[in-house]
Amino acid sequence: MGGCSSQSCHRCFFEYETERMIVVKSKVVGSVFRLIQFLILFYVIGYVCVVQKSYQETDSVISSVTTKVKGTGFTNTSDLGARVWDVADYNIPPQGESSFFVLTNMIVTPNQTQSTCPELPNQSTICMSDSDCLEGSNDVRGNGIQTGLCMNYSETVKTCQVLSWCPLEIDINLPEHALLVAAEDFTVLIKNSVTYPKFNFHKRNILPDVNSSYLKQCEFNRKTDPDCPIFRLKDMVSEAEEDFQTMAIRGGVLGIMIDWNCDLDWPEHYCGPKYSFRRLDNKIPENNVAPGYNFRFAKYYKTTDGRETRTLIKAYGIRFDVIVFGTLSFSVNAVCSWFLLTCTKRRDYYSKHKFTYLDNTDDNAGEPVSY
């Protein structure tokens, strides 16, 4: 860049300089230049366009899920006797937000009433005399309110008496085999609707050609019946590489993943749900504290003399979480615009009306052009 004297600074200020291009005829330099061009072209076409599809518009899925479980089982235990279990018994609660629970094992404490009984023994409840028990004390990890009395829990152990639902639950005797073994053959109907608001695109996992008679007899099979929305519980657990009866003893959490990744550059019927299954809760052998999945619920009754009683159930089972995800991509407009402006005979005319060119000498420069 040339210098300017103090007398000609005002002229230099209004000058514009441009670079001069020199064409070098060299096989080595030319080959390197073309190689770099090829690599850039390969990256843009191969990775950006084909792999990443960055030329496409995308939208994220909005989804709703409802489920309906069916099946019956039979148990015969000392606490409950012989009984048949239907969906109202083992599907707790009957409706969840994109999830459902199936009871498979349990610890039952029948005939509990509001009364007093000795607390379960631990370091804070074992006592020698009444002075070791604080009346009105409430241990958040205990089972009731202390009365201030020390009572015999067994022939060798004394514990503080509590006001609670008695007899207290003893939850260490979990059955070694799941009580509701028939649960593996239960089925669930999953109804999933998805929306992509940007493209006003709606679809269901129950496809348009599915009718009621088909739903009454179909069962999902990845090879023979991949469009059926009714799933056998054992099959889902097996696809997650788990054994149903082993998982049913202490329970667990299983994810039902529904993938709605779709590309509307292809016909719409190619856009459909893809199902996969995975265990979600922790089952690492080195960290097996509090394994599985369980919770408590009670069934309340009144005796003939009007006294309230209940049966407490510590329920073990499998919680199924339905997880829906996906992205819709669409690029037909972009491809058509490129074809219109590049390959048609009137491309110059279309380009003139598609783009606005500004002229600094035009009084109307910068005003928008309507099409």
Please check if 24 is assigned to a binding site: no
Please check if 314 is assigned to a binding site: yes
Please check if 69 is assigned to a binding site: yes
Please check if 282 is assigned to a binding site: no
Give the number of other CB atoms < 10 A from CB of residue 264: 18
Long-range contacts of 71-74 (CB under 8 A, 24+ apart): 71/182, 71/183, 71/185, 71/186, 71/187, 72/182, 73/180, 73/181, 73/182, 73/183, 73/186, 74/182
Cα atoms found within 13 Å of the Cα of residue 137, Cβ hemisphere only:
17
Is beta strand 327-330 parallel, antiparallel or unpaired with respect to 262-263? parallel
- Residue 10 parent element (H or E): helix 9-13
Q: What is the DSSP letter of 221?
A: B
Q: What is the DSSP letter of 174?
A: -
Please check if 274 is assigned to a binding site: no
Please check if 32 is assigned to a binding site: no
Please tell me the distance from the alpha carbon of residue 273 to that of residue 322, in angstroms, as a whole number. Answer: 13
Task: Return the closest-CA partner of residue 252 out of 297, 298, 290.
Answer: 290
| Annotated binding residues for ATP | 68-70, 187, 294-296, 314
Annotated binding residues, written as ranges, equal 68-70, 187, 294-296, 314
